[in-house]
Structure 1
Amino acid sequence: MLAIDGGNSKTDLAFIGRDGTVLAALRGPGASHEDYGIEGAMSRLGEMIRLTAGQAGLEGPGLVATHLSACLAGADLPEEEAALTSALLAGGWAETAVAMNDTFAVLRGGADESWGVAVTCGAGINCVAVAPSGETARYLAHGPLTGDWGGGFGLSYAVMWHAMRGWDGRGPATALGDAVAAHFGLASVRDVAVASHKGVITEDGLIKLTGVLFAVAAGGDAVAQSLVEKQATEICLMAVAAMRRLGMASAGVPVVLGGGVLESREPLLLEAVHRELAAMAPGAAPRVLDVPPVAGAALLGLDQVGATADAARRLRDHYRSSQPALA
């Protein structure tokens, strides 16, 4: 079986035996259909699949896998998932294939069963809920246009917004301005804004301001702490609203927290998420994802081919043992 977790900036692939053994794995560049179109994305994936198949000793013509489980960023609509599934099948890399949004990989990677809720807070923010019946509740996850707030980009722009207003007097005083300037080695937050306007500081640079935010919040800055609290509220609102749409009672429901912002395990953010989720959804069981999302894609694939519970445990054990130790 072939598992793929495809993000905008990187792609993880793994060939998995039916017994849950990881036969080969590879991390490659992004292959998003949003950036390259479906044809371009398949071309990039095809090269990575060939390299991974070579590692697994599966080189040669014809099919290389029984099933392909792909969890892909930007697969937000059913028609997008269908189009990507068709393209994967046309690639000839597996007998069967399923493409779905990458949030499903976070859910399956963090939940013991195939149901629950997952909130991904990375560059952006998204959520999916799956009831025990298999019914799902999803979000469009197209940013402010569809009511979403937060994630790395949202937080970073909020940091700049408050830092600038604190600097020029339109808003309350905050240590964010000086911290942002120091982060980029500039004299003031105004200089940061100018450098960003001129393209000297890119969006990839700005997104790193999430670390600045958490450091300033930990120091007691009220404005920074309010942003951390707002992010926690948004995470919990997404999870709880999705549960309600499915009529799920909250007690015992796993709520998997994934994406770089949440997987950084910042204490202030996680404490706020636990506190607010307990108030909104009593008995829900939040947990931070402890395996890479590609493991979730692989577990979904093992479910599809009817693998045993022992196979799932073997797969989880492999990825947990290969994860960096957490402080």
Structure 2
Amino acid sequence: MARSRLVLAVDGGNSKTDVALVSEDGQVLATGRAGAFVPQRDGAAAAVGVVEKAVTALTPGRAAASWEPPAPGVGGFDHVSACVAGADLPVEEEALAREFTARGFGGDVVVRNDTFALLRAGASAPWGVAVVCGAGINAVGVSPAGAVARFPALGRLSGDWGGGHGLAEEALWHAARAEDGRGAPTALADLVTSHFGTRTVEELVLELHFGRLGEERLHELAPGVFAVAAAGDPVAGALIERQAGEVTVLAEVCLRRLGLLETPTEVVLGGGLLTARDPLMTSLLDREFAQRAPRAKLVVADVPPILGAALLGLEHLGATETAKSRLRAHYEPSGTA
């Protein structure tokens, strides 16, 4: 009897990389995890090397009675479905796909930006809009006919604003101006000094400037910005309001480009700033969408994006609806994952 074809699903993020080996009938045979997938910092080869480590660390699940790990750690996959951070442009997706193939993962590799995994995991159908607001911010839309709307997502260079890191940078900017008198008073100054244990905001700025504190740590301020805003600070409140507006406009533009503004459409919200379900952010999003995209149905993702990468892989193989339902059941909150 022919063996079931195997999909290697990859969710490569800025903090960790998850992989799942999934059979064509929707069973999760094994899972693995490794470090951050950061091709824009480390290069494509190093980023795919992180996936190799995750594959080498595959741990069989309960459905894997007859499965044996592929040797030598990679290869043997009928399809690789990789949804990863840092693949913001088609040319970057293609370069990463070539690297996966060169490393022996198999000849059938599709690399997509990680927003595609969020959309497929959170939406009830293969189409809709997804907005991720975690360390950074990005969005993608897919129409029922398969047309795609997306953004370069290169930060301020390409018009982006917000995400945890961007929000923290803005908070630090306002805190510095509040401290030296150029800006309005704000409790963000106290947030900055208390969180990082400095006497002044200027002291923290100099720590960052001279490299004694890594700028990647700034995103740690993001939860505190929400707390300061909830306490009534007008400066912090304005930042959260602007962030809600950015999330909304990304979704609105995707819907408009795809001709879906007047069509009931799921908009999947993911990333730490949105899945935290902050009450202020939630109320602002409800207000903004009611005004700008009233036919949108907001869905906060409650399943891991690796599910989306795996579903895209199964669909690539032409798997049955039963197989996709079995896979989804594994990752649903009441499932076994």
Q: TM-score range by the shorter chain?
A: over 0.9
* Contact persistence 1:33–1:40 (CA under 8 A): yes
Partner of 2:159: 147
Pair 1:43-2:43 in alignment: no
Pair 1:23-2:29 in alignment: yes
Unaligned runs of 5+ in 1: none
* Contact persistence 2:34–2:50 (CA under 8 A): no
Partner of 2:71: 60
TM-score (norm 1): 0.93
In structure 2, how many angstroms separate the alpha carbons of the residues matched to 1:246 and 1:196? 42
Query: Shift in Å at residue 35 of structure 1?
Result: 2.6
* Contact persistence 2:37–2:85 (CA under 8 A): no
For 1:48, give the aligned amino acid.
A
For 2:306, give the aligned amino acid.
V
CA, structure 1 residues 206+276, in 2 after alignment: closer, same or farther (shift >3 Å)?
same
Partner of 2:138: 126
Query: Shift in Å at residue 145 of structure 1?
Result: 0.7
In structure 2, how many angstroms separate the alpha carbons of the residues matched to 1:75 and 1:149? 18
**1:80-229 map, 5 Å:** 80-229=92-241
For 1:91, give the aligned amino acid.
R
Query: Shift in Å at residue 27 of structure 1?
Result: 1.5
Residues 268-316 of structure 1: CA distance to partner in whole angstroms, max 9, x if unpaired?
Answer: 1122112101110112011111111111111111111122223222222
SS at match of 1:208: helix
* Contact persistence 1:15–1:53 (CA under 8 A): no
Unaligned runs of 5+ in 2: 1-6, 62-66
SS at match of 2:303: coil
Residues 148-204 of structure 1: CA distance to partner in whole angstroms, max 9, x if unpaired?
Answer: 000111100100011111222211111111122111222232222222223333223
Partner of 1:5: 11
TM-score (norm 2): 0.90
* Contact persistence 2:307–2:328 (CA under 8 A): yes
Choose 307-316 or 220-229, whichever is displaced more.
307-316
* Contact persistence 1:110–1:287 (CA under 8 A): yes
Residues 44-67 of structure 1: CA distance to partner in whole angstroms, max 9, x if unpaired?
Answer: 322322332777522336842221
In structure 2, how many angstroms separate the alpha carbons of the residues matched to 1:211 and 1:41? 28
Partner of 2:266: 254
For 1:192, give the aligned amino acid.
L
For 1:7, give the aligned amino acid.
G
Percentage identity across paired residues of the two chains: 47
CA, structure 1 residues 212+38, in 2 after alignment: closer, same or farther (shift >3 Å)?
same
In structure 1, how many angstroms separate the alpha carbons of the residues matched to 2:219 and 2:75? 40
SS at match of 2:169: helix
SS at match of 1:94: coil
SS at match of 1:68: strand
Q: Give the root-mean-square deviation of aligned CA atoms.
A: 2.1
For 1:273, give the aligned amino acid.
L
Choose 179-188 or 126-135, whichever is displaced more.
179-188
Correspondence for 2:247 among 212, 235, 257: 235
> Number of paired residues?
324
For 2:193, give the aligned amino acid.
A
* Contact persistence 1:53–1:64 (CA under 8 A): no
Query: Shift in Å at residue 130 of structure 1?
Result: 0.6
Query: Shift in Å at residue 322 of structure 1?
Result: 7.2
Query: Shift in Å at residue 319 of structure 1?
Result: 1.8
In structure 2, how many angstroms separate the alpha carbons of the residues matched to 1:58 and 1:205? 37
* Contact persistence 1:251–1:282 (CA under 8 A): no
* Contact persistence 1:58–1:64 (CA under 8 A): no
SS at match of 1:137: strand
Choose 170-179 or 141-150, whichever is displaced more.
170-179
Query: Shift in Å at residue 3 of structure 1?
Result: 0.2
CA, structure 1 residues 322+184, in 2 after alignment: closer, same or farther (shift >3 Å)?
farther
Residues 249-278 of structure 1: CA distance to partner in whole angstroms, max 9, x if unpaired?
Answer: 343211111112112221211221121011
* Contact persistence 1:53–1:59 (CA under 8 A): no
Correspondence for 1:34 among 34, 40, 47: 40
For 1:58, give the aligned amino acid.
P
For 2:282, give the aligned amino acid.
L
